[in-house]
Amino acid sequence: MKALSSCFAGILLSQLLACNVQNTTADTGGVGAAGSGGCASGLSVMLSDYASSQVALSTLSGETISQSFISTGSAKTDGLAFALSGDVALPSTRSESGRVVLIDRFGTNVLTWLDPETAKVLGQLAVGTGFESNPSDYIELASGLAFVSRFGSNRTPGKQPFDDGGDLLLVDTEQQRITGSVPIEATEDLPPRPTGMTRVRDTILVALARISLDFSSTGESELLGVSALTHAAEFRMRYAGLKNCGRPALSPNGERLVVACTGQLDVSGAVESVDESALLLLDARTLPPREIRRFSAQELAGEPLQGGATFANDSLVLFKTQTAVDGRANNRWLALDLETSAVTTLLEASPDAQGRGRGVLYGAISCSPGCSDVCLLADADRSVLQRVRFDAGNQPELLEPISVDSTSGLPPRDIAER
């Protein structure tokens, strides 16, 4: 195995580096607060060492209000048909229903819906359909329909319904059942490998990583547009020269998208060519989106970028570097001012005892422009939520970090609005 998608390389590297931790804490239940004025009610925070998982609930500025909403240790008491694994992720987009949704990935392939006020499990759905589908992202519509991107492709399909993989599943969120799928064609003998999704008006934008089944080769990444109304593909565009491109993130004013591309990875998390890594700025006012500007990874950071760029405001983008295990560099959290092209290093992870890089330690970034002036970073290096605020001139002020749960020993990996 020579290469991995950027979405899953961090998981493998963290598994290699994880140490034994204490059992997760007792459940602390749900919360009753609701959002107002179109704002999210708060955040879900995923803590994990990739052997155990725990979900905490926090405010938009990062204060913990329920440190163990649910965890792998609560499986027997909450009536879960499928116990949570150590590889659980959060949807990149807040659910229309207001429920907390968990995506249990490789080895489990299950969606779980929970009531945020009671922490009650409302339902679960297996989305493996007879193979390792590796669900990657989830977008829920107000109609009670959800799209689920499945990274895995089935080598021997045809044994049960919806078992091709490499597709978008259509899920009835009320009945918790699969109702259909949107197939995605393989090109140049590379499966599509759909990952993160973003909704722009009535179109679902899907990142296609295009990685071979044995992970030995990676093609140029693509962006697929699927109608949220008809469920039909509307367009498919390629990012010329770039590989392992992440989910497109929409600016607060809805006019631009930002995409971070990593490049082809090896098993250590090293990128084969920095020229395949860049930050793309796209015009979202027309679809397919038009490329406005391409910032090469070399000019921004002097090294490859990690997927998962986010807008802090309409003129400021937050992103991270991609770091190999035992590499020469450390994971960094950076800010790019789109007006001046100035890049600021916000944080840098600590090296190992030999002064070498420890791989991907920085996880999801969360900003809620218009609802909170604080942006958060899941920092597995220090096991905290790092926090930053920007003034009117986009100058950063690092705030006191927050330990989500100091008793479990599990570091934060993922953050999502709820």
pLDDT digits (tens, 9 = 90+) for 287-343: 999 999 999 999 999 999 999 999 999 999 999 999 999 999 999 999 999 999 999
Say which amino acid occupies 215: F
- Under a CB-based contact definition with an 8 Å cutoff, are residues 43 and 57 in contact? yes
- Under a CB-based contact definition with an 8 Å cutoff, are residues 259 and 246 in contact? yes
Give the whole-angstrom CA distance, residue 221 versus residue 237.
9
Lowest-confidence segment of 36-50, 162-176, 309-323 by average pLDDT: 36-50
Tell me: domain 6-417, CATH 3.90.950.20, correct?
no
Give phi and psi for 12, each to the nearest 5.
-65, -45
- Check residue 72 and report its DSSP letter: G
Kindly state the average pLDDT of the residues 205-214.
97
pLDDT digits (tens, 9 = 90+) for 247-296: 999 999 999 999 999 999 998 999 999 999 999 999 999 999 999 999 99
Bond prior to 288 in cis (omega within 30° of 0): yes
pLDDT, residue 36, reads 67
Q: Domain segments of the chain: what residues?
A: 6-417
pLDDT, residue 20, reads 40
Q: How high is the mean pLDDT of the chain?
A: 92
Q: In terms of pLDDT, which residue wins out, 118 or 20?
A: 118
